[in-house]
Amino acid sequence: MTKKRKSRLYLIILLIIGVSVSAGLALKAFNENVMFYFSPTDIKDGKAPIGHKFRAGGLVVAGSVKRDGTKVQFVVTDNKENFTIEFDGILPDLFREGQGIIALGKLDSNGMMIADQVLAKHDENYMPPEVQDSLHK
């Protein structure tokens, strides 16, 4: 093998390795940032991952909101199943009982979601598509 061919072969091998490593890192980053949506029924059926971030939503059950300083605990329903969400922070101004919400967080071992973020619908006619679909199942 000539010196020129050898150097081309090394270059091609390095390029293949570089592209493979880049693709692997991109897929890993994408996989870590994907957040799936689960309805209260899905969560009660055990489909939601414990200890991994996901989105969940439904309607806030009337009379279920309990506040303790900035910590808030409330129950969300899809009119079939209920589950509890705990959030430590300032809730959106539009958050109230009977309102559609989406929470982003993790499920603990007791089946309660520890939310990092709570989003409320932004007007009286809008409902996130995931929540609307889970309410009509």
Q: Where are the domains of the chain?
A: 1-34, 37-135
* CATH code assigned to 37-135: 2.40.50.140
Return the pLDDT at 127: 65
Residue 124 has pLDDT above 60, yes or no: no
Is residue 34 within 8 Å of 53, Cβ to Cβ? no
* Banded pLDDT at 51 (limits 50, 70, 90): confident
Tell me: the pLDDT tens digits for 68-100? Answer: 988 999 999 998 999 999 999 998 888 888 888
The DSSP symbol for 133 reads H
Can you name the residues that pair with 120 across neighbouring β-strands?
101
The chain-wide mean pLDDT, for the chain, equals: 87
More confident residue, 134 or 63: 63
Q: What is the DSSP letter of 55?
A: E
